[in-house]
Structure 1
């Protein structure tokens, strides 16, 4: 029987890529490379599969290898540029876009991305030049009392009291949230209607007060046999799939805690609706509804992957996104569930000496955005790897950590497992690192293209985990990434 050639594996990889089977495509291109490591096309094609699976660091490495093998291979420069912009390395991407445009002047997509990248680099330079160190926050300057609810609004009324703050002339909105308001608002969102900006501002401000009172690592447990904790992973603006979780698993209540483990905005086209729904539930059930911060609850991601654009499109206001941004910077970074499970969006650390006590003491308010180094960045960005030790991140940001790292962290902190999100899992969840590392992802058929299941985890009083998977449900014909930057939305 004839053995497959490198070209055979490459062709099979191309087919898998077209069918959105990205991990399979990566494996097939890797087989082609193992048989022939001198062909630039194999590396460039694997770079594209890495881009599709959001492994941008690996994509940059493969595109760079393709360029090294064949400096005339224009497509490799283009893919490297796309991968760099995905991790907001705009200045680094410009030279690669320029090579592409110079060599392929008729490529409209490449030219549009090049011009958009130039525009972003100029805008960032301008913003840095006029940056004010102590610029007042939107939360402090909004005058919600004077805002009127539009006469055309036909939705539920939100009960807002305005309470005068001590030693100040300012009045703070106090929201009296009800289950009926949330239910009616969800129905409103389902048919494409919005909340008035006055209500939005009041909800976000009230949620911010609650987040600010919570520690960097929240600690929760099911106290009674009839109590339940549900842990959800990324929902990424997939509002109708969020509603499927509540339909299938039960709505939040005082006895049914929910923990959303970050990345509830960006990519999907209903991020505003998800954020407002989660915040409303937080106000209604402050002691049983919790939200961790993810790497997409950050400005750099929101400006590229759609949340900023969505806020401006739906609410025609700069202040809406800025207020949400301020709320994201107050979110807790982790949750300890039942004293046994450390729940964090990304993963573990570059230093074995980091403990739960270090996280408890960490001042998350000292840096609003996570930056490229440090504990906050690692909690939001890191990923597991099957090999022992630590390695460079396939994303191009943070690190990867092996089973030995997870084992040492669990033993040092008396944990059964680390639960994280941050990555698609085709079955909705995975158990790795000898069962001590669990990934849960709650956005089924991610971006309408991946074909994956969604999942959530139920934790009962005895601490046992029950994994539940679910399929994507139909949604209105609005595509993912509709509001994203042109760099990502093409």
Structure 2
């Protein structure tokens, strides 16, 4: 197409303004500027790749892929566009697609050691996934949970931490004293013995295997239920919730709505604390699966590397089996649906459909279907449905929310999955609430965290909080080579 010289000059000027906004980490405003430059001159591929980088920063991976592909239509030799698309596909756990682009990048820049390292790592991941798939349904390969006997693990006499012992009836049972001591150890960056870590995971795995995909929750009589969103391995902010709002107890229930791990580098401490409280108070601590309680995300965003560094590969595999067994949704007081992501690509979904999801057979959520959409979808202000900015799940409007709630005799939807400046946002005529509980997300975003306290008469109180200091360990400390690829 023909673009006037004045429009070219103006577009390039706006791109400069966008670049400045990007350097200041004002990504939404930078996107607006890049978009304005594209509208004036849609023939410049770098405008699209720059906007794609902004989308990567905002975790809008679907939009980043679209921009990278537009750039490649304009200039098929623009290596940066292949790199951006590889970044987005890697973020989504689409390793085969990412591998194609990384091969192109490495071929065009054979001397780029960083690109070569990322290509090699991606190739290893793809080969490993193919091997794991090949043995997944092999009856000769039993699960870790079926073969593990934590009681047979020896505790060295030099271990000075808390212990889980047999009760008088011969059953293993965790105690409040153990959990309290464990938390103090974690605050001091010490571990518990692997025997007790395995015991905690195994106990929760057995509970979850018997749980339905949708769990009905009631608020404790004369107490409260606190709903928390993503905590993403930010252990010190996570513990701050308990210290300021109250620890789980018979009168204080908690529901953590997915994304306990990844990104933050204290994910092991977060998940072991949550699992320990689940074992201690099975009817007062509820856990829902998020999109980061999945193998592909854990490979990229740090949890797999962290578990292997602090414990072992076997422990990560047991965590993976426990995550596969996590419930997908909760209904509070028969009136509030709580899911990690959101609603569905079709209109006729009922609570019974959610209850019937065979999460144990499916294991990983895949890229379509009810389980995927529960974990990945996001609300949008426009009516109807839209393509997901993330590249997985859908975006759903206020009419979709209203129709779903009316069909299922519900009052509102609580979900998480998205960082919010003030920790929470109320949308869709008050019917859809997003709550996010990781303040100053990844040590860079500067957002507040939030949680929701719910009383027995189903009244909601929104509480926001700031981040607290933590040891000098950077986010994604244990992530793969791809942390650099993702712009972290």
TM-score (norm 1): 0.93
Distance (Å, rounded) in 2 between the aligned partners of 1:60 and 1:223:
46
Distance (Å, rounded) in 2 between the aligned partners of 1:113 and 1:43:
23
Q: Which of 25, 34, 40 does residue 39 from structure 2 map onto?
A: 34
Distance (Å, rounded) in 1 between the aligned partners of 2:262 and 2:350:
31
Task: Point out the more displaced range, 135-144 or 95-104.
Answer: 95-104
Q: Which of 442, 464, 468 does residue 469 from structure 1 map onto?
A: 464
Distance (Å, rounded) in 2 between the aligned partners of 1:447 and 1:101:
29
SS in 1 for 2:392: coil
Contact 2:220 2:253 in 1 (8 A): no
1:127–1:414: structure 2 CA closer, same or farther, 3 Å change rule?
A: closer
1:145–1:94: structure 2 CA closer, same or farther, 3 Å change rule?
A: closer
Task: Point out the more displaced range, 84-93 or 334-343.
Answer: 84-93
Distance (Å, rounded) in 2 between the aligned partners of 1:96 and 1:322:
29
Partner of 1:103: 108
Contact 1:481 1:489 in 2 (8 A): no
Distance (Å, rounded) in 1 between the aligned partners of 2:166 and 2:377:
40
Distance (Å, rounded) in 2 between the aligned partners of 1:194 and 1:261:
25
Q: Which of 346, 354, 370 does residue 365 from structure 2 map onto?
A: 370
Q: State yes or no: 1:144 paired with 2:150.
A: yes
| Deviation digits for residues 45-68 of structure 1 (CA, Å, limit 9, x no counterpart) | 110011111111110100110111
CA drift at 1:310: 0.8
Q: State yes or no: 1:296 paired with 2:292.
A: yes
1:42–1:236: structure 2 CA closer, same or farther, 3 Å change rule?
A: same
Distance (Å, rounded) in 2 between the aligned partners of 1:154 and 1:163:
26
Partner of 2:205: 208
Distance (Å, rounded) in 1 between the aligned partners of 2:432 and 2:460:
13
The root-mean-square deviation of aligned C-alpha atoms, in Å, is 2.0
Contact 1:390 1:401 in 2 (8 A): yes
| Deviation digits for residues 167-217 of structure 1 (CA, Å, limit 9, x no counterpart) | xxxxxxx43222221111111011111111110111111112222332211
Distance (Å, rounded) in 2 between the aligned partners of 1:377 and 1:251:
32
Partner of 1:313: 309
CA drift at 1:111: 2.2
Distance (Å, rounded) in 1 between the aligned partners of 2:108 and 2:256:
46
Partner of 1:169: none
Q: State yes or no: 1:486 paired with 2:445.
A: no
Distance (Å, rounded) in 2 between the aligned partners of 1:407 and 1:124:
40
Contact 1:147 1:198 in 2 (8 A): yes
Contact 1:43 1:66 in 2 (8 A): yes
| Deviation digits for residues 20-64 of structure 1 (CA, Å, limit 9, x no counterpart) | 232232222222223322221211111001111111111010011
CA drift at 1:80: 1.0
1:297–1:75: structure 2 CA closer, same or farther, 3 Å change rule?
A: same
Distance (Å, rounded) in 2 between the aligned partners of 1:382 and 1:60:
17
Partner of 2:227: 231
1:91–1:58: structure 2 CA closer, same or farther, 3 Å change rule?
A: same
Partner of 2:3: none
Contact 2:384 2:398 in 1 (8 A): yes
Q: Which of 395, 399, 409 does residue 404 from structure 1 map onto?
A: 399
Q: Any unmatched runs of 5+ in structure 2?
A: 1-5
Contact 2:443 2:475 in 1 (8 A): yes
Partner of 1:361: 356
SS in 1 for 2:151: coil
Distance (Å, rounded) in 2 between the aligned partners of 1:346 and 1:107:
38
Partner of 1:66: 71
CA drift at 1:489: 4.6
Q: State yes or no: 1:383 paired with 2:378.
A: yes
Q: State yes or no: 1:54 paired with 2:49.
A: no
CA drift at 1:438: 0.8
CA drift at 1:223: 4.6
